Amino acid sequence: MKALFGLEERILDTKRDMEAREALLASRNLAVPGGESLVLGFFRDDRLVATGALVGNILQGIAVAGEIEGEGAAAAVTSALLKKAVERGMRKVFLYSKPQEARIFRELGFSLLAEVVVERSGLGAALMEWGAEGIEDWKAGMAKFAEGKPRGAGAAVVNCNPFTLGHRKLLEHAAERSPWLYVLVVEEDRSLFPFDVRLRLVREGISDLENVTVLPGGPYVISSATFPSYFTRVPAGGDSRKITELYAALDLEMFRRHVAPALGVGIRFVGTEPYCPVTSVYNDLMKRILPAGGEGIPPVEVREIPRFERDGSPVSASRVRDLIREGRPGEAAALVPKTTAQWLESEEAAPVLERIRTSGSRH
């Protein structure tokens, strides 16, 4: 235990501590984030007066009691969390705050990545980052890939878990209608098929298309930072639709503000989403946010392409995983290109297939 700013700092783990924390968060109109790997509390006279948590590499749930506001407690909480993050080997951390409080964190060395307020719900959030290899470095790296390529290019963001004929048709369609096409593969490794396999199968599956560059999505394209509810369940008590909308809007704001200008993208292609409610909210918002444009931000046209169907039902990666789970590999193979089918039969695939059959995970 040590004193920070006259406050006693300790890790919260008892039920009593957690209840006090929940009450403090609620008093500041904040929900319990969920998925925390570390929760810190700051006490004065044995009363919890400030708290903050680490959720992966994201600082979340930072709250300071009204009675000590303005005494620099937010700086104490934030730097205590940053030190814990650094000790855990994180070079970079993200932080969510309310838009009106972003200034506090800017003064603490965070840079603003994107800020949104969703009109329908009134919910708003600012996404910020701190540490090495920030957004400007990433954009410079992306701009190198785009050097000498035509502007007004197309882009598609895909998870491809695994790469199916549906993905193939979408990318084929997009490549035909774009001067150049960038395919960004979601890098977050939370899917049943590991990232390096997903990336490789996309590359192999469209290697015949000449005007396409396949790139890892990196930390700024549908990552646990830009779109946490895509990867984790919305916390109990939260309004799932509103929260999904908020994060989806943030991810799209990141795309519009950073990704599209860095690559010179003018069109974003997306498949229609008949099943997944999260993706369908995302697609709806995309059509409102990307074409808007703004100061220094070129508008991005959105083209929604109907899902490729076979035998009357849409070909999707979740269908392929279901067929594998049900022990129908032949039917699964019929929905994917040869390159993916070959991989599914390889030795490397065995542990992945086993995990699909035994885990309850849908992703």
Backbone phi, then psi, for 319, in 5-degree steps?
A: -65, -40
**Least CB distance to another protein at residue 103 (A):** 13
**Least CB distance to another protein at residue 79 (A):** 4
The residue range among 89-97, 228-236, 270-278, 296-304 that interacts with another protein, by the rule CB under 8 A, is: 89-97
CA distance 262 to 139: 5
CA distance 127 to 292: 20
| Identity of the residue, 53 or 267, whose beta carbon is nearer to another protein in the bound complex | 53
Q: Is 40 in the site for another protein (CB under 8 A)?
A: no
In order, the DSSP letters of 20-63 are: HHHHHHHHTT-------SEEEEEEETTEEEEEEEEETTEEEEEE
| Identity of the residue, 83 or 120, whose beta carbon is nearer to another protein in the bound complex | 83
| Identity of the residue, 109 or 291, whose beta carbon is nearer to another protein in the bound complex | 109
Neighbours of 283 (CB within 10 A): 17
- Cβ 359 vs Cβ 192: under 8 Å: yes
Q: Is 26 in the site for another protein (CB under 8 A)?
A: no
Find the binder of another protein among 30, 35, 79, 307 (CB under 8 A): 79
- Give the C-alpha distances (Å, rounded to integers) separating 147 from 2, 25, 216, 310: 52, 47, 17, 38
In order, the DSSP letters of 232-282 are: SPPPTTS-HHHHHHHHHHHHHHHIIIIIHHHHTEEEEEEE--SS-HHHHHH
Site string for another protein, 2-21 (x = CB under 8 A): --xx----------------
Neighbours of 33 (CB within 10 A): 21
Amino acid symbol at 358: T
Find the binder of another protein among 58, 64, 82, 160 (CB under 8 A): 82
Q: Which positions ≥6 away from 20 have C-beta within 8 Å?
A: 41, 48
Compute the radius of gyration of the chain from its Cα atoms: 22
Find the binder of another protein among 30, 75, 123, 305 (CB under 8 A): 75
**Least CB distance to another protein at residue 21 (A):** 21
Find the binder of another protein among 54, 62, 76, 185 (CB under 8 A): 76
| Identity of the residue, 57 or 164, whose beta carbon is nearer to another protein in the bound complex | 57
**Least CB distance to another protein at residue 82 (A):** 7
**Least CB distance to another protein at residue 108 (A):** 5
CA distance 164 to 201: 9
Give the pair of three-digit tokens for residue 358.
């035994």
Find the binder of another protein among 122, 132, 312, 327 (CB under 8 A): 132
| Identity of the residue, 66 or 72, whose beta carbon is nearer to another protein in the bound complex | 72
| Cα atoms found within 13 Å of the Cα of residue 31, Cβ hemisphere only | 14
Q: Is 69 in the site for another protein (CB under 8 A)?
A: no
# residues near another protein by CB under 8 A: 21
Site string for another protein, 92-121 (x = CB under 8 A): ---------------xxx------------
Q: Which residues bind another protein (CB under 8 A)?
A: 4-5, 72, 75-76, 78-80, 82-83, 86-91, 107-109, 131-132
